[in-house]
Amino acid sequence: MTNSQYVASLSVDNEQKLKELYTKLEWFGANVVTFCEPNMDNQLTSIAYYGTPELMKITQHLKLALS
């Protein structure tokens, strides 16, 4: 694993799509973690993973967040 100084924040339309993305990344072997919001009934609000070139192909179609 190489060191990286970059972080990309991407967006999906809803929690269900985020759950599906999490499952897909996990299936492809990504070390992916979830973040849930306790003030919103533990709703899944974000995920994070180390973006290898192979795994980044899974998320390349997503839009940048806040754009």
**Predicted confidence (pLDDT) at residue 3 exceeds the cutoff of 80:** no
Type and span of the H or E element at 34: strand 32-37
Predicted TM-score (pTM) above 0.75 = yes
Mean of the per-residue pLDDT values of the chain: 92
> How far apart, in whole angstroms, are the C-alpha atoms of residue 22 and residue 36?
13
> How far apart, in whole angstroms, are the C-alpha atoms of residue 58 and residue 43?
23
Q: What is the mean pLDDT of residues 3-30?
A: 93
> How far apart, in whole angstroms, are the C-alpha atoms of residue 34 and residue 42?
11
